[in-house]
Amino acid sequence: LLMSIQPKLIIHGGAGSLEGNIEKINHIRTSLEDICDKTYTHLCSTTSYDAVIYGIKLLEDDPLFNAGTGSKTQHDGQIRMSAGLMDGSKARFSGVINIQNVQNPILIAERLQNYNHTVLSGEMATKFAHELGYKAYNPLTAERLQESKLNIVGTTGTVGVVALDSSRKISVGTSTGGIGGEIPGRVSDSATIAGTYANLFAGVSGTGIGEHIINSGVATKIVTRVEDGYSLKDAVSKSINEGKSKDYHFGAIGISSSGDIIVDKTKDTIYYAFSDGHTISIF
Ligand code: GLY
């Protein structure tokens, strides 16, 4: 029996200790609400896969968030971005790691879904994108340049989208400029299966300190637990509690094929918005 279901969507704009002032927090809230609304509308007429790419692109293009335009700089002052994309219905992961001079890393991850080799890194990822016709683009904003000069290193990073469409397919995308001030070339969790994972049962996107997310294998572990019989809620709280016991900083958003939506974090705040078609909830 193939019944179409109510689509579900959750997005995040990173985690942190409420960095910045109230005005900035309010901007983040307004942006997330707007992007959640637009992406949900898109999800209702397309697929979870298309909606994830659409939503991540909007988040990357918004300079408030540390992904795409507005990415943080690594220790040498250079921006290196990473994005991961997973189509749960096909169990296919793709991503770019430390790509430079492109506007939307998620679009390069999307292109890689159609290749046999689905994850590219560094200079060759950049070259691949430019050869496909994506124009050279400088994602550095005046605000990030200033932060970089003052050596301001935050803990916020990453944007993510998890979507469930009317035919119960789940997709996930995550994009980041890293944590800021890291060793040049350091690899984020976002374009790994610790930060981005989906299958037929659930999808999860992580945010927070990449090393903590990788050590805990967050997204893949939660999704696997759901596949093995845990409820999404129990699977997430188990991973969050394990993270808390190690004093780790991370958060996760997720959706299961039965339509459960979850958001949780070890500490700090995770900036999120979700929609079930009736109401939008904001952090
Ligand atoms: N989660 C973003 C990073 O650690 O790079």
pLDDT digits 0-9 by tens, 104-153: 999 999 999 999 999 999 999 999 999 999 999 999 999 889 888 887 76
* Whether residue 196 lies in the annotated active site: no
Region 82-94: what's the mean pLDDT? Answer: 98
204-248 pLDDT tens trace: 999 999 999 999 999 999 999 999 999 999 999 999 999 999 999
The predicted pLDDT at position 69 comes to 97
* CA distances (Å), origin 130, targets 53, 114, 115, 153: 19, 17, 16, 30
Separation of alpha carbons 94 and 282, rounded Å: 29
Beta-strand pair 81-87/170-176 = antiparallel
Pocket mutation for ligand 1, best pick of 99, 189, 253, 271 (most atoms within 8 Å of C-beta): 189
- The per-residue pLDDT for 152 is 72
Place 14 in a pLDDT band, splitting at 50, 70 and 90. confident
Q: Name which residue leads in pLDDT, 156 or 258.
A: 258
pTM over 0.85: yes
Banded model confidence at residue 3, pLDDT cuts 50, 70, 90: confident
Query: Cβ atoms within 10 A of the Cβ of 23, count?
Result: 8
Which 8-state DSSP code applies to residue 72?
P
Is residue 277's pLDDT more than 80?
A: yes
SS3 92: strand
Q: What is the pLDDT of residue 147?
A: 84
Residue 22's pLDDT band (cuts 50, 70, 90): confident
Average pLDDT, the chain: 94
Hey, how many other C-beta atoms are within 10 angstroms of the C-beta on 282? 13
- Whole-number percent of the chain with pLDDT over 90: 86
C-beta pairs of 214-219 under 8 Å, 24+ apart in sequence: 214/189, 215/246, 215/248, 216/242, 216/243, 216/246, 216/248, 216/250, 217/193, 218/189, 218/194, 218/243, 218/250, 218/252, 219/172, 219/193, 219/194, 219/195, 219/252
Task: Give ligand 1 pocket residues (Cβ under 6 A).
Answer: 157-158, 176, 178-179, 188-190, 207-210
What integer pLDDT is reported at residue 20 of this predicted model? 61
Residue 154: the pLDDT is 63
Share of the chain above pLDDT 70, in %: 95
From the CA of 157, give the closest atom in ligand 1.
2
Q: Which is more confident, 153 or 161? A: 161
- Quick: pLDDT tens for 39-59: 999 999 999 999 999 999 999
Q: Which atom of ligand 1 is nearest to the CA of 207?
A: 1
Question: With bands split at pLDDT 50, 70 and 90, how would you rate the model's confidence at 25?
Answer: confident
How many A from CA of 188 to the centre of ligand 1? Answer: 5
For residues 68-96, give the mean pLDDT: 97
Give distance in angstroms: CA of 207 to centre of ligand 1.
6
Catalytic residue among 158, 174, 176, 266: 158
Exposed e or buried b per residue across 213-249, where buried means at least 16 C-beta atoms within 10 angstroms of its C-beta: bbebbbbbbbbbbbeeebebeebbbebbeebeeeebb
